[in-house]
């Protein structure tokens, strides 16, 4: 990669973005999305920084698609996407989906009352009670 980076920079003076690390990421990008047309199309709809975050964090195509769609639909900045990834949003959604499916099977009429919330921005202690939240916030 270093040799290829030097070659590009020497033949195209002033060109930027072709450091060995970026070339490696470009290769990784190709290998990640080349075989999956759906993900390949989605990946073109978000910026490079967000693609790099998703490639580094997601372990499966399902997880990649989740974060690609989330980023595209919500126009996330890299910082916001990183926050969502760090909060394990994909895993929480998958667990929630399983629980919701079981809940729906038992109580079809109550599904409208079931919502999920992300509250980590409130700096809530790990151990807390809903009663404390109601009083404090």
pLDDT for residue 54: 94
Q: Which of 87, 24, 93, 18 shows the shortest CA–CA distance to 55? A: 24
Q: Which of 93, 56, 53, 55 shows the shortest CA–CA distance to 77? A: 53
- Where does the pLDDT of residue 100 fall: very low under 50, low under 70, confident under 90, or very high at 90 and above? low
How would you class 5 by CB atoms within 10 Å of its CB: exposed for 0-12, middle for 13-18, buried for 19 or more? middle
Q: How far apart are CA 23 and CA 3, in angstroms?
A: 11
Check pLDDT > 60 for residue 104. no
Which of the residue ranges 15-24, 25-34, 61-70, 95-104 has the most confident prediction, judged by mean pLDDT? Answer: 61-70
Check pLDDT > 70 for residue 105. no
pTM of the model: 0.65
Using one digit for the tens of pLDDT, what is the confidence trace for 8-21? 888 898 888 888 88
């Amino acid at each position: 990669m270093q040799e290829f980076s030097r070659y590009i920079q020497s033949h195209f003076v002033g060109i930027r973005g072709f450091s060995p690390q970026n070339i490696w990421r470009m290769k990784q990008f190709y290998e990640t999305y080349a075989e999956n047309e759906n993900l390949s199309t989605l990946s073109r709809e978000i910026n490079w920084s967000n693609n790099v975050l998703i490639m580094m964090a997601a372990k499966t195509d399902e997880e990649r698609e989740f974060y690609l769609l989330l980023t595209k639909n919500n126009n996330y900045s890299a910082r916001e996407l990183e926050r969502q990834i760090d909060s394990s949003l994909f895993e929480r959604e998958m667990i929630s989906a399983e629980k919701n499916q079981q809940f729906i099977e038992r109580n079809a009429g109550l599904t409208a009352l079931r919502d999920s919330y992300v509250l980590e921005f409130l700096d809530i202690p790990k151990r807390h009670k809903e009663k404390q939240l109601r009083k404090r916030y």
